[in-house]
Structure 1
Amino acid sequence: MENLLDGYEGDVVPVNPSSEEVFGLECYDDLTQTEGVELAIVVVPPQIVNGVLRQAGEAGIRDVAVITAGFGESGSEGVELEREMTEIAEEYDINLVGPNCLGVISTSVGMNATFTEKSAMEGNISFMSQSGAFISAVLDWAGDHNVGFNDIVSLGNKAVLDEGSFIDYWGDDPDTDVILGYLEDIENGREFIDTAREVTKDTPIVAVKSGRTEAGASAAASHTGAIAGSERAYEAGLEQAGVIRANSVQELFDYATILGDQPMPESNDIAIVTNAGGPGVMATDAIGDSGLEMASFTDESLEQLEEAMPSEANIFNPVDVLGDASAETYADALDIVLDDPNVGSVIVVSSPQSIDFENLAEVMIEKHEEYGVPMAASLMGGETAEKPAEMLGEAGIPSYFDPARGVDSLDALREYAEIRSHEYVDATDFDVDRERAREILERTKERDTNKLGVEAMELLEAYGIPTPQGAIVSEKNAAVEAAKDIDGDVVMKIVSPDILHKSDIGGVEVGVPDEEVADTFDDLIARARNYQPDATILGVQVQEMADLDAGTETIVGINRDPQFGPLVMFGLGGIFVEVLEDATFRVAPVSEPEATEMIDEIDSAPLLRGARGREPVDEAGVVETIQRISQLVTDFPAILELDINPLVATPDGVAAVDIRATVDQEQL
């Protein structure tokens, strides 16, 4: 109440049956007695919150913030109360923030509907957080750093409104230039991606995601599951959503400041202007670790710099104007550098040797207004830099002690420029045999296990994924006949849903000639029985040999993440997949450009593209296979995990040599 009365432009109505007035205002017994209320802030014991919420619905109040704790975070009774809360909100079409939250702040109307001691300065940043304590800390810090906010929302348990709800709203809010988030989880991952993609076309989103553990990876049966922990899903999902990831609170607000105040760069090329060689090298190193590139000046710019700078100065990038440079020397250098068509952004680095930082700040402000090129400053001083940094901040130019922070912030600007220019396309809908695939998956209901092995190769064929010629046979005479239908030596593998790592038990024989097929059949069955007497043995697969000399073994797999759904993996395959972990991920459905990006991102991509004289593989075939697997697992949520390992890629095409999968039989 004190926070609301201290600045809110509208009416505040206290509701409490125990009082006749609060802070001199008439107090009502319940919400049904009020009129014209737009927002109800609920701070009553958890057992009576839902009764108050129903009163709000009866009174026509459509916006409610429930600060009260004691719901889903507190045990089974709280979970049931929160479920009931969600139902009431749905019944009355109530937008509800919380429960278990700090409240909300909207500076545009002077409203601080939280129980924090400090409010927010007005600004162009809207900020949401799943931690109320984090908001309190940020408000305390922001006041000392002149960082202002438009809206601040404590999400709490997200019973109704979640991060996607506010991203969608702020995307249309003319008073919000940057959206920030502190996120601990995202419950509706695919919906979040789709919403954020639309918003980031005009409004940048920066998020800190806590909880980077790969929870659940140790329990996964597949290669993909072993590598794809929750952090992998968030990393892929946030990238696909166009959200810029910050790794710390400092980065979060560094990025927010520059994104809210600076124009978009026209290129990734950056110039450094400095009066100190060491800090200039530090900035150069930071650029090497970023997505920015050192700008190459035009011949005309170099001639102008040579004429304008002292003879001892370095006129190449980074431009070193020397330790005794004045603000006027910086001005001359900036006129030339900012006017160079090869320069997309500039960082000005200065140590307090013989220069007045205030004069330098005035020069930077003037040149920034004149040229409109993105700019950051690194004034490497203490007290002498405080007022100049404040002058720069008021003009929209961020200033940092560490040159690397300035470079990182300009790199975030570059990243957002790329996000804005990115064109998303829908995933391809291939012509596939869904009914056949469904029949194959439903066969697992007849077994004691939910695992599938090479007996599921038909599943791939139903979705148009090439497989080697072969058959699964249950007796050795049939194995001999199957081998005769295949040219050359064959590969033979034990087929058992209970034995996933066949190579480890000698369950695979490669290069078997026709005359040895029968004996190899018996050997494989015997090894499987000795390894696991109670295993279900479905037979032996007799398969055409893949040309591994001409091809490269890759892996395409999925692991179903609880927040984002199917997470598609691509990487180097064969026996090295878990050792090297050279893999990349996308949330399904995966489009053709995204599948192509996946190939670009792995370290071993040169192996696919003809490294050391090798002939390039059929990359289009790999891209299509990634897409088809993406479609398969999108069509069938019952598939929890799936690996094609190896997917052998050759210059003539691709072939899925082996498969394993885990199925949720209850979803079939």
Structure 2
Amino acid sequence: MSEADRSLAGLFAPGRVAVVGATDREGSVGRAVTENLLSGFEGTVVPVNPNRESVLGEPCVASVSEADADMAVVAVPPDYVVDVVRECGESGVRNVVVLTAGFGETGAEGADRERELTEVAAEYDLNLVGPNSLGVMSSPLGLNATFGPDAPPAGGVSFMSQSGAFVTAVVDWAAEAGLGFKDVVSLGNKAVLDETDFVRAWGDDPDTDVVVGYLESVVDGRAFVDAAREATDDTPVAVVKSGRTDAGAQAASSHTGAIAGSDRAYEAGLDAAGVLRAESVQELFDAARALSGGTVPESDGVAVVTNAGGPGVMATDAVGDAERLRLASFADGTVDRLGETMPEEANVYNPVDVIGDAGVERYEAALDAALADPDVGSVVVITAPTATLDFGELGEAIADAADEHGVPMAACLMGGGRLAEAREVLRERGVPSYFDPARAVAGLESLAEYREVRERSYPEPEPVDADRERVREILSSVEDRPDNRLGVEAMEIFDAYGIPTPEGAVVDDPAEAEAVAEDIGEEVVMKIVSPDILHKSDIGGVKVGVPVAEVADAYEDLVARARNYQPDATILGVQVQEMIDLDAGVETIVGSHRDPQFGPLVMFGLGGVFVEVMEDTTFRLAPVGREEAEGMTADIDAAPLLRGARGRDPVDLDAVVDAVVRVSQLVADFPSIVELDVNPLVATPDGVRAVDLRLTVDPEELDSNS
């Protein structure tokens, strides 16, 4: 539904708005919307109601076809909505906002109604918001096409929400918090327009300084990533994503699937999109305040200027805890300059304490010195109420300093009514202010994170040479099996994609097992091969260090153990494999899990038997290039083990990176692979070996493989 060339201007800047279902009846949605539009909209409001001549003093028309409208707001019972929307399409009303509930959120009948609505919208190429939406707002024209109680103050934040109640709460709070909005949309059921459409539209809107959102889901993850990457070149995007449960992992049969859950996919997807993810509503709008300023820090050094020692220490601690920020180291010239202008009792090192009797002039001198320092990329300025300060003048001084130096600043005004004038001055002049020093620092951290986003490049992964036809044959073998899981019997997949494996084979009789062991020429590892026995070591289904002379007996013993454990299990044979010295390397895992919204994710982490206990893993959207894969090897807590910790030799990181890239391309090439584990991928100074394999295939997707 998201289209690169779709214009949403008619939703936020219409000349004439038809309210279908307008009425005078107290407490009705139709009345609330009509009142909201009549109270501030600069365009024309056309009530549509065949049973009334006028609504709230405005003449009515009988149908939307008579309204000659640019946008229609639909507030009629659900059984009439589809017909009304069809009439909108027939009469040339391309922008439609459906407030009515009773669609996909209500059950099978509502879902059928929503499908019909979607079909009508597609037939007439409509920009349709909803159904089950609170509506849309836009400050420049005073548009409040919602049934909420208030319109937001004007500003540069454009806001989308999957919850209508969240919109009303935020709008009510915004006036008190001093945050202004440009456009607001309640997404509703997202039958046609979804988050991707609005990110794309607002990213192109010069009057939108920052895009924020409350999301419960993303309709098309890959389209969202593409739209957000383009938008964030100029416009930051920040969201709160609710629904962090791992319920989606309950049916997972691989380690990767069990760890991934639903939230890890969103974490990887939002990161790939360059979207800043907030952990709470407060954090989201604290970030929005900072990001609205449009200036990003040129360095990570933070200066703290305060008239109160305790809050200065709190800000310093917050900077130390931040991922991207650090306390700036003042040059000698800065310290000398501060020493010339500050009283003897003041602290002229960072954090700068101008002490409690400071007036506006002392703050100005401290800010000018700190902002001129070459290591300062941003400043936190803190004030607690004192009798020596004129707070209106202080607000102007802070804003003047920010304008003069072009350096991001966050004010921490630690008081109530006495500081109201300073807050208002800073709001009008675009300097974010907070009560808590830690929140001020977090605002600056969001700017540093956005700077990283803007500096990113997104190179296409290099092509991987592979025998894709052989992989297609192996995956198709599940069509002849009672289950859809493959194990070490499919190890040729690795060979086809250039991923090294130990010497060995899967055999189905003791004599053949002995012959394979003789070819290897040393002690071997033997594993039962059965799609029904996932954890082989738990049942004694693995033997390590088997001499060639004992291989035949070991074969019989492994099969017997499997039969005793699960008499009806399908036994495909026994894998006879070259032994890999695990003590000489690091056991890692490379895996994949196919997410319904974002497609295949690739996982890398610490492997072996503890993978689900430690969960020292990181995820990316597949396929990944070498640069991303290198980042994955650095992300995990066990990264020092790979690079040589405690006297160990470093592993061959190039080989690890290459394996991650190749697995990620494999799962991107073959949509039928639902889950995949390479565990362990043993990394040594001499290279890597993929020792074990577990994957799940969706037979219905076999035809979609590349």
- The normalised TM-score by structure 2 is 0.92
Deviation at 1:267?
0.7
Residue matched to 1:325: 358
Q: Identify which range, 346-355 or 89-98, moves more after superposition.
A: 346-355
- CA shift, 1:491, in A, is 0.9
| The one of 345, 366, 375 aligned to 1:312 | 345
Q: Decide which of 103, 119, 133 is 2:151's aligned counterpart.
A: 119
Q: Are the equivalent residues in 1 in contact too, given 2:623–2:664 (CA < 8 A)? A: yes
Conserved? CA contact 1:639–1:661, under 8 Å: yes
**1:8–1:109 contact (8 Å) kept in structure 2:** yes
Paired amino acid for 1:636: F
Deviation at 1:355, TM superposition (A): 3.6
2:126 aligned residue: 94
1:47, distance to aligned residue in structure 2 (A)? 0.9
Match of 2:274 in 1: 242
Instruction: Output the CA distance in 2 between the equivalents of 1:28 and 1:614.
Output: 82
Amino acid aligned to 1:604: A
- Superposed, 1:227-306 pairs within 5 Å as 227-290=259-322, 291-306=324-339
Matched, 1:405 2:442: no
Task: Determine whether 1:342 maps to 2:342.
Answer: no
Gap runs ≥5 in structure 2: 1-33
- Preserved CA contact (<8 Å) 1:277 1:320: yes
What amino acid maps onto 2:229 in structure 1? R
2-side partners of 1:198 and 1:140: how far apart? 31
Aligned counterpart for 1:358 among listed residues 384, 392, 410: 392
Pick which of 321-330 and 474-483 moved more: 321-330
Range 168-177 or range 276-285, more displaced: 276-285
Q: Distance in 2 between matches of 1:354 and 1:296?
A: 32
> What's the counterpart of residue 29 of structure 2?
none
The aligned residue for residue 535 of structure 1 is 569
Higher mean C-alpha deviation, range 422-431 or range 86-95: 422-431
In 2, the alpha carbon distance for the partners of 1:378 and 1:166 equals 33
Q: Does structure 1 residue 647 correspond to structure 2 residue 687? A: no
1:299 is aligned with what amino acid?
D
Q: In structure 1, give the amino acid aligned to 2:353.
A: D
Is the contact between residue 209 and residue 294 of structure 2 (CA under 8 Å) also seen in structure 1? no
Q: 1:470 to 1:21 in 2, by over 3 A?
A: same
- Retained in 2: the 8 A contact 1:553–1:647? yes
Offset of residue 107 of structure 1:
1.5
Instruction: Measure the CA separation in 2 of the matches of 1:226 and 1:511.
Output: 31
Corresponding position of 1:153: 185
1:477-488 aligned within 5 A: 477-488=511-522
Structure 2 residue matching 1:430: 3-state secondary structure:
coil
- 1:519 is aligned to 2:553: yes
Distance in structure 1 (CA, Å) of the matches to 2:511 and 2:640: 44
- Match of residue 645 from structure 2: 611
AA partner of residue 21 (structure 1): S
Deviations 1:10-39 (A, max 9, x none): 22222222122223333222223333x211
Match of 2:258 among 217, 220, 226: 226
Following TM superposition, by how much is the alpha carbon of 1:353 offset from its aligned partner in structure 2, in angstroms?
A: 4.3
Q: Which residue of 2 aligns with 1:74?
A: 106
Aligned counterpart for 2:475 among listed residues 415, 432, 441: 441
Paired letter, 2:530: S
2:95 maps to which of 41, 63, 83: 63
Given residue 14 of structure 1, which amino acid in structure 2 is its aligned partner? P
Using the TM superposition, give the Cα deviation of residue 634 of structure 1 relative to its aligned residue in structure 2, in angstroms. Answer: 1.5
Distance 1:54 1:13 in 2: 18
Give me the CA root mean square deviation: 1.4
Q: Which amino acid aligns with 1:105?
A: M
Alignment partner of 1:370 is 2:404: yes
Match of 1:26 in 2: 59
Using the TM superposition, name which of 131-140 and 375-384 deviates more: 375-384
Aligned counterpart, 2:693: 659
Give yes or no for contact 1:228–1:559 (8 Å, CA) kept in 2: yes
Please report how far the alpha carbon of residue 69 of structure 1 lies from its aligned counterpart in structure 2 after TM superposition.
0.5
How far has the Cα of 1:96 moved from its partner? 0.6
Report the Cα distance in structure 1 between the residues aligned to 2:77 and 2:628, rounded to whole angstroms. 49
Distance 1:154 1:538 in 2: 55
Following superposition, the deviation at residue 354 of structure 1 comes to 5.2
Correspondent of 1:12 among 15, 37, 45: 45
Which amino acid counterpart does residue 432 of structure 1 have in structure 2? Answer: A
Q: CA deviation at 1:604?
A: 0.3
Equivalent runs, 1:575-586 vs 2, <5 Å: 575-586=609-620
Residue in 2 aligned with 1:175? Answer: 207
Greater mean alpha carbon deviation, residues 202-211 or residues 380-389:
380-389
- Contact 1:262–1:375 under 8 Å retained in 2: no
User: How far is the alpha carbon of 1:423 from its aligned partner?
Assistant: 0.9
Q: Is the 8 A contact 1:34 1:59 kept in 2?
A: no
Contact 1:473–1:541, Cα closer than 8 Å, also in 2: yes
1:642 touches 1:661 (CA, 8 Å); kept in 2?
yes
Q: Deviations over 1:106-136 (max 9, x none)?
A: 1222211111111122211111000001111
Alpha-carbon distance between aligned partners in 2 of 1:511 and 1:491, rounded to the nearest angstrom:
6
- Alignment CA distance shift 1:321-1:100 (3 Å): same
Equivalent residue for 1:135? 167
Residue 26 of structure 2 corresponds to: none
Query: What is the identity, as a one-letter code, of the residue corresponding to 1:259?
Result: L
CA separation of 1:198 and 1:262: change in aligned 2, threshold 3 A: closer
Cα offset for 1:488? 2.4
After TM superposition, give the deviation of residue 160 of structure 1 in Å.
0.4
Q: Deviations over 1:570-593 (max 9, x none)?
A: 100001101111011112222222
Looking at structure 2, the residues matched to 542 and 515 of structure 1 have their Cα atoms a distance apart, in angstroms, of: 13
Give the aligned residue type for 1:75. G
Distance 2:344 2:179 in 1: 42
Q: What is the one-letter code of the residue matched to 2:448?
A: R
Amino acid of the structure 2 residue aligned with 1:600: A
SS class of match (2:292): helix
CA distance in 2, matches of 1:362, 1:608: 53
- Could you tell which deviates more after superposition, 39-48 or 26-35? 26-35
Residue aligned with 1:620, SS: helix
Aligned counterparts of 2:97 and 2:525: Cα–Cα separation in 1 = 64
1:199 aligns with 231
**Whole-angstrom CA distance in 2 between matches of 1:312 and 1:263:** 34
| Sequence identity (%) | 62
Return 25-34 or 149-158, whichever deviates more.
25-34
Structure 2: distance between partners of 1:624 and 1:148? 48
Q: Residue in 1 aligned with 2:15?
A: none
CA distance in 2, matches of 1:109, 1:33: 23
- Say whether residues 1:163 and 2:195 are aligned partners: yes
The one-letter code sitting in structure 2 at the alignment partner of 1:296 is: S
1:212-261, Cα deviation, whole Å (9 max, x unpaired): 11122222111111111111111111111111111222122111111112
Query: C-alpha displacement at 1:416, in angstroms?
Result: 0.6
Counterpart for residue 629 of structure 2: 595
Residue number in structure 2 paired with 1:382: 416
Contact in 2 for aligned 1:262/1:396 (Cα 8 Å): no
Q: How many Å separate the matches in 1 of 2:226 and 2:38?
A: 39
C-alpha separation in 2, matches of 1:13 and 1:107: 20
Shift of 1:480: 0.8
Within 1, Cα distance between the matches of 2:352 and 2:175? 36
Q: Return 451-460 or 10-19, whichever deviates more.
A: 10-19
Hey, what's the Cα distance between the residues in 1 that align with 2:87 and 2:429? 49
1:392 aligns to what?
426
Equivalent-residue separation in structure 1 for 2:524 and 2:336 (angstroms) = 70
